[in-house]
């Protein structure tokens, strides 16, 4: 069954027919070709599919696309200011080796962004809690935590 | 992509949702946060003919005061329960439990009503709702009925909700000033369901109290500990609480987290811990 949905993704509005069986992650990847949103487990455990829905991070593999009609979404593609520009959190991940294979990275970066929005100066422990919904099979998390600490410093300094 | 076809509805009023539910004749599923339902559909474990969303129905979320009771909408999401000032003041156990539910993303989307109807035996709100004496308000096209939380859970992932009913509200009596309460859980990995969890309320004066335990059987169990603590929360009293918890956990079953005996033993430990902590808080 198809359902027409209107959504805003990264500031752009779309009106599309979504298959009602499509989860939001599939819709973003297959219909809008925004393949930065990854699918790891598909069942809510890994956080690779994290996107921002009306200002809060959610796991887009557990939400039906048809169920977000009229809502606003930000994906990893939408957080920097321009095509050649990285968001300060992304820059810190690159410089401090917050990624290896990169599969978890879009979700990690969005979770970090949510955390720093609510808590601009988090402790190491708070960072670890903030990204506890995101699994990484490569880094052992240590460099991810370092990257987020550095990003926090830079974002604070730029204010 | 979910493999099996189904109809999808996003009603804009509760009445519309109720009539869609009634018309669907049994094999429709309501969707709230989708955090449990969507993975089950993706894995082929749930295959409804129709999915009816509550996400666009106004008036089903939020926390209101209604005399001595907090009226909490079924669609209230975990992160709201964790941070709402009325909950913090009058039902701090719920906020404490909400902190443990899943992770940040799960708490942004999952709902109180979804947890209660999904009824995982180790879900965080189950023992909390029992210990708080919560009532569960169910609405159908025919009318409204209210069920005590302690009568709501029937078996593993089975409740007394009937076809055609929507859980609309959870009514939680405000804890009287001077009460103490504590929620604690055993888990190995952050963001996972508890293995065993426990919630205690000790009333002002420390003569009366109750403990509810989850993860130690198909449904949460509750123990009145008043007789044990009436003459003080001594080591001896806690030993009797522990024995009562062990007995109440007689239907514990083994799974990948541990065998039945282990869970029964943990029922002892956690019942004692929450009673001690709640009593220390009570006046
Ligand atoms: C990674 C992960 C970790 C988790 N960890 C925990 C945890 O530690 N502790 C814990 O308690 N939970 C945990 N959960 C479950 C989570 O709390 C879910 O939010 C919850 O079980 C379901 O709520 P939902 O709103 O998402 O409901 P849905 O998934 O939408 O629905 C669940 C069921 O309830 C029914 N339903 C929903 N709302 C209503 C209503 N108002 N009236 C009637 N029926 C309704 C649906 O038809 C469905 O059968 C976890 C989930 C995930 C994905
Ligand atoms: S793909 Fe969504 S949580 Fe793993
Ligand atoms: S960098 Fe490979 S999964 Fe995190």
> What is the rounded distance in angstroms from the CA atom of residue B105 to the CA atom of residue A112?
12
Q: What is the mean pLDDT of residues B79-91?
A: 98
pLDDT band at B170 (very low <50, low <70, confident <90, very high): very high
For residue B6, which residues of chain A lie inside 8 Å, CB to CB?
A: 1, 20-21
pLDDT band at residue B7 using 50, 70 and 90 as cut-offs: very high
Are A57 and B104 an interchain contact pair (Cβ–Cβ within 8 Å)? yes
Return all residues near A34 (Cβ < 8 A) that are at least 6 apart: A9, A10, A28, A75, A77
**Could you read off the pLDDT tens digit of each residue along chain A, which spans 159 residues?**
899 999 999 999 999 999 999 999 999 999 999 999 999 999 999 999 999 999 999 999 999 999 999 999 999 999 998 878 999 999 999 999 999 999 999 999 999 999 999 999 999 999 999 999 999 999 999 999 999 999 999 999 988
Contact between chains at A57 and B42 (C-beta distance less than 8 A): no
Indicate yes or no: CB of A64 within 8 angstroms of CB of B42. no
Q: What is the pLDDT of residues A3-25, one digit of tens each?
A: 999 999 999 999 999 999 999 99
pLDDT at B3: 93
Instruction: Give the model's confidence band at B260: pLDDT under 50 very low, under 70 low, under 90 confident, else very high.
Output: very high
Angle at B70 between CA B102 and CA B116, to 5 degrees: 40
pLDDT at residue B160 tops 90: yes
Mutate to test the interface with A, among B104, B115, B188, B190 (most CBs of A within 10 A): B104
The answer to whether A108 touches A137, Cβ cutoff 8 Å, is no
B283 vs B157: CA distance, rounded Å: 37
Measured over the CA atoms of residue A99, residue A102, residue A104 and residue A108, the dihedral's sign is: positive
Question: Among candidates B123, B132, B148, B126, which has minimal Cα distance to B278?
Answer: B132
CATH number of A88-157: 1.10.150.120
CA dist B58 and B18 (Å) reads 14
What is the C-alpha separation between B97 and B116, in angstroms, rounded? 13
- Do residues B200 and B174 lie in contact, with contact meaning Cβ atoms separated by under 8 Å? no
What CATH superfamily classification does A2-78 receive?
Beta-grasp domain (3.10.20.30)
Interface residue B50 vs chain A (CB under 8 A): no
- What domains, with CATH codes, occur in chain B? 7-53 (3.30.43.10), 63-173 (3.30.465.10), 182-282 (3.30.390.50)
Ligand lying nearest the CA atom of residue A49: 2
Contact B190 A132 (CB under 8 A): yes
- pLDDT score, position B191: 87
Question: B51 contacts in A (CB within 8 Å)?
Answer: 20, 64
H or E stretch covering B196 = strand B196-202
- List ligand 3's pocket residues with C-beta within 6 A: A 99-104, 136-139
pTM > 0.90: yes
**What confidence score (pLDDT) does residue B181 get?**
98
CA distance A85 to chain B (A): 27
Mean pLDDT of chain B: 97
Q: What is the pLDDT of residues B178-201, one digit of tens each?
A: 999 999 999 998 889 999 999 999
Residues of A in Cβ contact (< 8 Å) with B2? 21-23
DSSP codes of every residue in B73-86: ETT-BHHHHHH-HH
Pocket flag, ligand 1, residue B35 (CB < 6 Å)? yes
The CA radius of gyration of chain A, in Å to the nearest whole number, is: 16
CA-CA distance, A5 to B129, in Å (whole number)?
A: 37
- pLDDT at residue A105, as a whole number: 98
CA distance B105 to A60: 10
**What ranges do the domains of chain A cover?**
2-78, 88-157
A60 and A100 Cβ atoms separated by less than 8 Å: no
User: Do B216 and B196 form a contact (C-beta atoms < 8 A)?
Assistant: yes
Instruction: Write down the ipTM of this complex.
Output: 0.97
Residue B25 pLDDT exceeds 90: no
Give the pLDDT score at B52.
98
Interface test with A, best of B40, B103, B114 (most A CBs within 10 A): B103
The answer to whether the CB of B246 falls within 8 A of the CB of B267 is yes
Which neighbouring-strand residues pair with B147? B136
Give the pLDDT mean for B96-105. 98
**pLDDT band per the 50, 70, 90 thresholds, residue B277:** very high
3-state secondary structure of B46: coil
Q: Taking CA atoms, what residue in B is nearest to A29?
A: B1
**Closest residue of A to B53, CA-based?**
A67
**CA dihedral sign, ordered A71, A75, A79, A84:** negative
**B124–chain A nearest CA distance, Å:** 17
Handedness of CA A54, A60, A62, A65 (dihedral sign): positive
pLDDT band at residue B1 using 50, 70 and 90 as cut-offs:
confident
pLDDT at A84: 84
Give CA–CA dist B68/B257, Å, rounded.
Answer: 40
Alpha helices in chain A (DSSP H): 24-26, 88-95, 105-118, 124-130, 142-157
Query: Could you tell me the CA-to-CA distances from A29 to A6, A63, B106 in Å, in that order?
Result: 16, 14, 21
| pLDDT at residue B8 is higher than 90 | yes
Percent of chain B at pLDDT above 90?
98
Helices A88-95 & A105-118 angle (0-180, nearest 10) = 120
Cα dihedral sign, B21-B73-B94-A64: positive
CB of B265 shorter than 6 A to ligand 1:
no
Query: How many Cβ pairs closer than 8 A exist between chain A and B?
Result: 97
């Amino acid at each position: 069954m198809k359902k027409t949905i209107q959504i805003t993704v990264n500031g752009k509005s779309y009106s599309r027919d979504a298959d009602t069986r499509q989860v939001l992650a599939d819709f973003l990847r297959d219909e809008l070709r925004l393949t930065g949103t990854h699918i790891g487990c598909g069942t809510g455990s890994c956080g690779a599919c994290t996107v921002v829905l009306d200002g809060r991070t959610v796991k887009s593999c557990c939400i039906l696309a048809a169920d977000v009609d009229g809502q606003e979404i930000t994906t990893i593609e939408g957080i920097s200011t321009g095509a050649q520009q990285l968001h300060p959190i992304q820059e810190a991940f690159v410089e401090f080796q917050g990624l290896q294979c990169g599969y978890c990275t879009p979700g990690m970066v969005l979770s970090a962004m949510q955390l720093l929005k609510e808590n601009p100066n988090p402790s190491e422990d708070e960072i670890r809690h903030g990204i506890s919904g995101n699994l990484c099979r490569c880094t052992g998390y240590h460099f991810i935590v370092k990257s987020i600490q550095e990003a926090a410093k830079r974002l604070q300094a730029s204010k | 992509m979910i493999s099996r076809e189904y109809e999808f509805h996003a009603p804009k009023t509760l009445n519309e949702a109720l009539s869609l539910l009634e018309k669907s004749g049994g094999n429709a599923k309501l969707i709230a946060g989708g955090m449990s339902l969507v993975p089950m559909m993706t894995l082929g474990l749930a295959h409804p003919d129709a999915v009816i969303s509550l996400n666009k129905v106004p008036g089903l979320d939020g926390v209101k005061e209604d005399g001595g009771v907090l009226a909490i909408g079924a669609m209230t999401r975990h992160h709201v329960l964790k941070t709402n000032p009325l909950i913090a003041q009058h039902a701090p156990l719920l906020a404490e439990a909400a902190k443990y539910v899943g992770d940040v993303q799960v708490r942004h989307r999952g709902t109180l009503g979804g947890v209660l109807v999904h009824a995982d035996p180790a879900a965080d709100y189950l023992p909390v709702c029992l210990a708080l004496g919560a009532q569960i308000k169910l609405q159908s096209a025919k009318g409204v009925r209210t069920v005590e939380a302690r009568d709501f859970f029937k078996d593993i992932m089975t409740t007394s909700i009937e076809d055609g009913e929507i859980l609309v509200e959870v009514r939680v009596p405000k804890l009287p000033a001077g009460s103490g309460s504590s929620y604690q859980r055993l888990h190995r990995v952050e963001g996972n369901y508890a293995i065993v969890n426990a919630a205690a309320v000790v009333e002002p004066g420390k003569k009366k109290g109750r403990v509810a335990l989850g993860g130690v059987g198909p449904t949460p169990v509750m123990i009145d500990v008043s007789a044990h603590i009436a003459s003080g929360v001594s080591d001896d009293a806690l030993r009797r609480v522990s024995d009562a918890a062990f007995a109440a956990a007689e239907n514990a079953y083994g799974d990948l987290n541990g065998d039945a005996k282990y869970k029964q033993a943990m029922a002892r430990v956690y019942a004692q811990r929450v009673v001690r902590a709640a009593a220390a808080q009570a006046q």
